[in-house]
Structure 1
Amino acid sequence: MTLSQISARMGALAAATVLSATLLFAAPQAHAATNGSYYKAELAQPTTSKPQLLRSVYVKCEGTSCRAPIASTAPKNMCVSIAREFGAVTAFTAGERVFTAEEITACNGDNTKAVAKN
């Protein structure tokens, strides 16, 4: 093995190490920066409910604002679950996606509570 082959392998190893370190430390920090607020919902009525496990994540509501981290479910399903558990939803976002008025109406369906659950 020549010196240039050893240098090339060492360079590749160094690049792989830097890439691994970046993925190991930077990716979790970027996820943590969202503060568990991938899903955001505004309710029609304030709620005093404790955090609820919905769709494999805890949804926490304070007043009329609900927040939850990302889950392995479709945003529509999360919106429907929040409406069923906490009451009518007036606004909903999943990451950068903002639900339209029609999507909000579909989330609320016929299953929402007239008064927020206590």
Structure 2
Amino acid sequence: MMTLSQISARMGALVTAAALSATLLFAAPQAHAAANNSYYKAELAQPTTAKPELLRSVYVRCEGTSCRAPIASTAPKNMCVSIAREFGAVTAFTAGERVFTAEEIAACNGDNAKAIAKN
């Protein structure tokens, strides 16, 4: 037979485990969603006041010279080209952990951007 203190200890452990599970259940998806909102990151040469724009099936939001968008089913180079066309010259671009080189950024901004977007 269990004593009252043993029952209390087990109930305390159960309540703690339930609280921790509930926290992880709600916090983990929110952290994942927050991370998804900034998979693509672009820095613009000039600030923009443009409203969020639907580009390549995701909304791109810009504030000043910083633009952010969640992951999309498009190649990073195509997203870079789309952002440059819609919001202006891009000076830096990342897709997840991938940082674009100076040559890739020039291609986003260049005359050959249409050809790159089709590839």
When normalised by structure 2's length, the TM-score is 0.68
Match of residue 104 from structure 2: 103
Q: Which runs of 4+ in 1 moved over 3 A?
A: 25-30
Q: Which residue of 2 aligns with 1:45?
A: 46
Specify the code of the residue in structure 1 equivalent to 2:35. T
Q: Could you tell me which residue of structure 1 aligns to residue 22 of structure 2?
A: none
Could you list the runs of 5+ residues in structure 1 that have no partner in the other structure?
1-24, 113-118
Superposition pairs of residues 49-68 of structure 1, within 5 angstroms = 49-68=50-69
Residue 32, structure 1, aligned to residue 33, structure 2: yes
1:10-50 deviations in Å (ceiling 9; x for gaps): xxxxxxxxxxxxxxx58744522415000000000000000
Question: In the aligned structure 2, how far is the partner of 1:85 from the partner of 1:27?
Answer: 33
Structure with the larger helix share: 2
Aligned length: 89
In the alignment, what sits opposite 2:10? none
CA contact (8 A) 1:90 1:104 kept: yes
| Alpha-carbon distance between aligned partners in 2 of 1:33 and 1:50, rounded to the nearest angstrom | 20
- RMSD over equivalenced CA pairs, Å: 2.1
Q: Is residue 88 of structure 1 aligned with residue 79 of structure 2?
A: no
Q: Could you tell me the percent identity over the aligned residues?
A: 91
Read off the aligned partner of 2:78 and give its amino acid letter. N
Distance 2:96 2:36 in 1: 12
Q: Cα–Cα, structure 1 residues 47 and 38, in superposed 2: closer, same or farther, change >3 Å?
A: same
Q: Distance in 1 between matches of 2:89 and 2:76?
A: 16
Hey, what's the Cα distance between the residues in 2 that align with 1:49 and 1:33? 22
Q: Which amino acid aligns with 1:55?
A: R
Q: Residues of 2 paired with 1:42 and 1:33: CA distance? A: 19
Please give the TM-score of this superposition, normalised by the length of structure 1. Answer: 0.68
What SS does the aligned partner of 1:34 have?
helix
